[in-house]
Amino acid sequence: MAADRTPWADDRTLIGWIRTSLSLIGFGFGINAGMSFIDRIAFRSRGEHHKGRASWCVSNV
């Protein structure tokens, strides 16, 4: 009986890993969108043209 349930447990584990990885990817996209929004607001308030995060990081390092 336990041998019959083992493939199902493997499937549930794989599905859990996939669900977790997709959630983390989605969370990363959300953080990126939020940071881009904050960057745009910050550059607008200073009257500068939005150059993007990469050039901002390079100029401030």
- pLDDT at 54 (0 to 100): 55
What confidence tens digit (pLDDT) does each residue in 14-53 have? Answer: 999 999 999 999 999 999 888 888 888 877 766 665 556 5
Which pLDDT does position 61 carry in this prediction?
A: 47
In the 8-state DSSP scheme, what is residue 51? -
The answer to whether the beta carbons of residues 48 and 56 sit under 8 Å apart is: no
The amino acid at 42: A
What band does 55 get if pLDDT is binned at 50, 70 and 90?
low
Q: What is the pTM of this model?
A: 0.59
